[in-house]
Amino acid sequence: MTNFFKSKMFSLFHHFTISLFILSLPLLSISQILPFQQDAVTADNEDQMAMQFFQARNYEKAAGIYSGIYPKRPSFNNYTYYFFSLVEIRNFDQARKLIKAQQKTDPNTLKYMVDLGYVYFREGNTGKSKKQYEEALRQLPPDANKVYELANAFYSKGEFEYVIRTYKKGRDMLTSNFNFGFELAGVYERTGNFKEAFEEYLYVLSLNKNYEATVRDRLQTLLATDDDNSKNETFRELLLSRIQKDPDRTYYSELLLWYSVQQKDFTLALIQAEALDRRQKETGARVMELAALAISNGNYQTAENAYNYLVGKGHTGQFYEPARREILHTRYMRLKSEPSTGRKEYEELRKSLRTELALWENNPEAVRIAKDLANLETFYLNSPDEAIDLLDQVLEWRGLTENERASVKMELADIHVYRGDLWTATVLYQQIYRDFKNDATGQEAKFRNARLSYYMGEFQWARAQLDILKAATTKFISNDALELSMLIGNNYDPDSNTVALGIYSRAELADFRNREDLALQTLDSVPMLFKEHPILDNVNYRKGEIYLKLGKYSLADSMFAIVVKNHPQDIITDEAIMNRAVIHDTWLDDKPGAMALYQELLSNYPGSLFAVEARKRYRTLRGDSIQ
């Protein structure tokens, strides 16, 4: 770095930091400083006048006033502002005299040696400057306060290498009590040396595991801004290296487990969770917790692998029975999420669910198995009557909690919607809402009942209920309510016909009942009747979702492309682009096309809810991820 550049950078740095300090100080009005207002300026007003000029960067006038203030009140603050004013007007001789005067009052403070070195640096005498800095560092005693004091003096001058050397010398002298790891990490972050920053955080953790939460918080903040993913790559590579070299230090594996979850890399997270479970002879609790987290993020295969690990620990294991049940639930969720799943696979799963359910003999532990089985028989094997009989029996089980009973009723109501028995469905939804008005279960029931009214064409009533739910405490419910309310509001006019919205709602009901062919036929009738209508973008988008559900990826892509082309500013456009990108990425084996679409989303819709995921997938395709 050239002296010219350093001088410019340091000057700007001082202006910035000093300005922050003085922003809160009151400024004088003109009337306060006019000579005819008062014969003598009070000490307070004198200080304020000096500060006013300093803040305005009128260092000549500020220095003139401070030259009178400092001899009368030689405080640290007055010294500091006087010193910087002198340096900025290049009155270096007076600055040196000021430093010597201050040193007489406080001879043990090394900061003034740094100030003198800074004066030499601003004069262009880097040799003398360095000599002063080195002497200050040489005289540093084994005193933590003196270490901080000297480090801050160097930091304020932009001499970051000397800051680092100061803390490292302090670490050597005060090994037992102070490691200055957080301070060093902060300096390395400031200078862009992120690898060394990570090293310091790991060093702190190696000394005291109690700092784990603080280290994680610092790392999360540091890794949050990483446009080219270089920080994340460096950190992950460093952690993996540490684990390979020193596998017995479990805190490295625990940190990598935490980091993997933050990055939603559940495959790597499971490797670490299993390793920790084996090494520390745990019960499997952390693996069980990770599996649930993987499910909530749609990573069903990793969750299934985790449950299989727990089952493999043997029937005496604490989580053997719940893991067995969760394997079936996870398999069910995975099959539902895969468009290529055929009837044979669903029938095989039904057999497994029935076998498992028979083992529990009306035990409330098996409620979720029963619900999964009922949902599978209804929506994928078209046997709703068997499902209703099963759930009616479950409601008779002893020992059910009220929440479990409500969840069974919710599933039962959905099945009645499938059968077309809408009255029974709405009664069940209302019962659940009545019993759970003030929590998420009640809000979910209210939303489903409002959606049912929408299916039935009762648009005004449905929207009124949805508008109430927009303030729901559960974000998922409030978002769904907002989306459906906007759909109705944008396409419903009580003074005109609601034919288009009515057709669209019937198509959505057919889709809910997994009657995709009927849903597509119904949607196709909308553009035949209406050449122009605000609902047409929703029609194309919904067709895209149905084609995706059917595994017709090219058709789905074409529908989403129409939405993007015809309605670039619509609320669903960014989601349409994301869907296209995932289709090209996952099913069409078109990596360049996927990258272009992710980039389009990031460039044109930077505030999209899908931006974070799009950036992650783009980096993976670009090859940033370390395997």
Answer yes or no: are the C-beta atoms of 454 and 484 closer than 8 Å.
yes
pLDDT score at 9? 39
- 523 burial (CB, 10 Å; 0-12 / 13-18 / 19+) is buried
- pLDDT at position 495 is 59
Q: How far is CA 447 from the centre of its chain?
A: 27
* 14-63: pLDDT as tens digits: 443 444 333 333 333 333 333 333 434 466 788 889 889 988 999 999 89
Alpha helices in 395-458 (DSSP H): 402-419, 422-435, 440-455
Distance CA 419, CA 414 (A): 9
Are the CB atoms for 303 and 295 separated by under 8 Å?
yes
> What local confidence, expressed as pLDDT, does residue 38 receive?
40
Determine the pLDDT at residue 28.
Answer: 34
* Cβ density class 7-23: b for 16+ within 10 Å, e for less: eeebeeebeeebeeeee
Record the tokens describing residue 619, joined without a space. Answer: 């980096």
Domain ranges of the chain: 493-622
Contact predicate 418/384, CB 8 Å: yes
Model confidence pLDDT, tens digit, residues 537-568: 999 999 999 999 999 999 999 999 999 999 88
> Interhelix angle for 212-224 vs 194-207, to 10°?
170
pLDDT in tens, 417-445: 999 999 999 999 999 999 999 889 999 99
Cα 139 to Cα 155, 190, 422: the distances in Å are 18, 26, 85
pLDDT for position 26: 36
CA 419/CA 363 separation, integer angstroms: 28
pLDDT digits (tens, 9 = 90+) for 333-380: 999 988 888 999 999 999 999 999 999 988 999 999 999 999 999 999
- Nearest CA-CA partner of 429 in 414, 465, 421, 470: 414
**Mean pLDDT, contiguous 10-residue spans, the chain (627 residues):** 38 41 34 37 78 90 90 87 92 93 88 94 94 96 94 94 96 85 96 95 91 93 84 92 89 93 92 94 96 94 97 95 95 91 95 95 93 97 96 96 97 97 96 93 95 96 91 72 92 78 96 95 95 92 95 96 91 94 95 96 91 87 65
d(CA 372, CA 331): 10
Cα Rg for the chain, rounded, in angstroms? Answer: 34
CA distance 14 to 7: 11
CA–CA distance, 536 with 553 (Å, rounded to integer): 21
Superfamily name with CATH number, domain 493-622: Tetratricopeptide repeat domain (1.25.40.10)
